[in-house]
């Protein structure tokens, strides 16, 4: 996936300025596709030049005008084409896993603190995801199901991605618990 596609998806969800896009990447999109502010601004400029996005000046009180970007017809077409292309399953590049294997040739117990740090980071991210799920996707009471209301694809697919993140963090925490138990035997 190119950064362009992540930007198109974000702008289709809600038009915004380069700054607002960068904030979205920090808060949500960045958990599965990272980009720096500079990369986002550089790619936005190229996408505007290529006709994928349109920008309009939005006046602000007491501050300079901002550019608000939205997806143009060419951007819709590019995203639609990309969505239909097959992609290969991603290979995992995991530095910590290499360190864990390498610990066999050093002091395995010396890696405990680093694994604990990673476990805490995944625990924190899981808590963040769960808080977001509770806030944005509260459970509906069983008697509130309304078969006449069509599903909202954008909302349902956002929740599916979030559930994937929750599952991933739970898997990582379980794996790191196993690694810690193994390391502590040495």
Q: How far, in Å, CA of 120 to CA of 118, rounded?
A: 5
pLDDT for the residue 186 = 87
The pLDDT value recorded for residue 93 is 80
Strand pairing class (53-60; 63-71): antiparallel
Predicted local distance difference test score (pLDDT) of residue 72? 98
* Cβ 4 vs Cβ 78: under 8 Å: yes
Q: Say which DSSP state 92 is in.
A: P
Tokens of 145: 């199901």
Q: What is the pLDDT of residue 143?
A: 55
Annotate 126-169 with DSSP letters as a single string: HHHHHHHHHHHSPPPPGGG--TTSPP-HHHHHHHHHHHHHHHHH
pLDDT tens-digit map of 71-110? 999 999 999 999 999 988 888 788 999 999 999 999 998 9
What is the Cα–Cα distance from 24 to 10, expressed in whole angstroms?
8
Rounded to two decimals, the pTM is: 0.80
Those residues of the chain that have pLDDT short of 70 are: 1, 30, 142-148
CB 112 within 8 A of CB 183: yes
């Amino acid at each position: 996936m190119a950064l362009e596609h992540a930007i198109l998806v974000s702008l289709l969800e809600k038009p915004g300025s380069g700054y607002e896009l960068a904030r979205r990447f920090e808060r949500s999109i960045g958990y599965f596709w990272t980009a720096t502010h500079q990369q986002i601004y550089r790619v936005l400029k190229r996408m505007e030049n290529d006709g994928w996005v349109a920008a309009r000046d939005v006046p602000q009180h007491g501050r300079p005008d901002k550019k608000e970007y939205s997806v143009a017809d060419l951007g819709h077409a590019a995203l639609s084409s990309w969505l239909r292309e097959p992609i290969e399953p991603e290979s995992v590049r995991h530095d910590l896993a290499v360190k864990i294997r390498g610990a066999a040739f050093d002091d395995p117990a010396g890696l405990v603190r680093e694994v604990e740090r990673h476990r805490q980071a995944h625990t924190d991210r899981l808590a963040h995801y769960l808080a977001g799920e509770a806030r944005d996707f509260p459970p509906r009471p069983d008697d509130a199901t309304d078969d006449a209301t069509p599903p909202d694809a954008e909302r349902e697919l956002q929740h599916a991605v979030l559930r994937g993140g929750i599952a991933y963090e739970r898997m990582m925490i379980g794996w790191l618990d196993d690694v810690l138990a193994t390391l502590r035997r040495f």
